[in-house]
Amino acid sequence: MKTHFLTLALCATLCATFLPATLNAADKDLPYGQMMQGQGMMQGQGMMQQGQDAMQAADGMSLLRHILKTDPYVKWDLMPGTTRMRQGKEPHGALQNVYVNKLAYKAIMEKAGALPDGAIIVKENYTAAGKLAAVTVMQKKKGYNPAAGDILWLKYSPDKKILAQGKADPCIKCHTAAKDNDYVMLAPLK
């Protein structure tokens, strides 16, 4: 447990070193989950389109637009086994909301062994006082980074500035502890 905490602390330190990138001014009105009152529901677009839309480009900006505009993550279900404002750990904040798209939800519920192409997990990271500190995202993208689970990583601030994206070494190093679970820390896939 102590080793896991130290690994997470190292991950937080390394994540802070990435250079920020700013979203277009037109995207400043994108919604956040903290503004939503209810849990997501398994409604909306079909699984195939949900994955395909997010898969168009392997970059943080495209993924950010997808989860905020095209298929808002705040309408997704919470990750099975989690609750709203669950107690979290660094580097992901004292409190967390963890959302999964339909593909990730199905893989977790069916114990598929791995996330399918297009699966997305979004974690809202809050301070102990309940203030949104950052949002972190992992997206399964077949062929993107086979050496590290084919995961595209994204971290952005409350003002929607991208803090880390792509093959983010701090994220990979931390989540390698869950390599046998397809880099997913909170829900068993087997």
- 110 contact partners, CB below 8 Å, separation of at least 6: none
Asked, for residue 186, whether it belongs to a domain, the answer is no
Q: Minimum mean pLDDT among 37-51, 95-109, 131-145, 156-170: which range?
A: 37-51
Q: Is 190 domain-assigned?
A: no
| Residue 107 belongs to domain with CATH number | 3.50.70
Number of domains, the chain:
1
Residue 53 belongs to domain spanning: 2-181
102 located within any domain: yes
In a domain, 187, yes or no: no
Instruction: Tell me if 147 is assigned to some domain.
Output: yes
Asked if residue 189 is part of any domain, the answer here is no
Distance, in Å, from the CA atom of 96 to the CA atom of 174, rounded to the nearest integer, reads: 17
188 inside domain: no
Using DSSP, state whether 62 is helix, strand or coil: helix
- For the stretch 128-182, pLDDT in tens is 999 999 999 999 999 999 999 999 999 999 999 999 999 999 999 999 999 999 9
Asked if the structure places residue 87 within a domain, the reply is yes
pLDDT of 4 strictly over 80: no
Reply yes or no on whether the pLDDT at 91 is more than 80: yes
Question: In the prediction, which pLDDT does 163 show?
Answer: 95
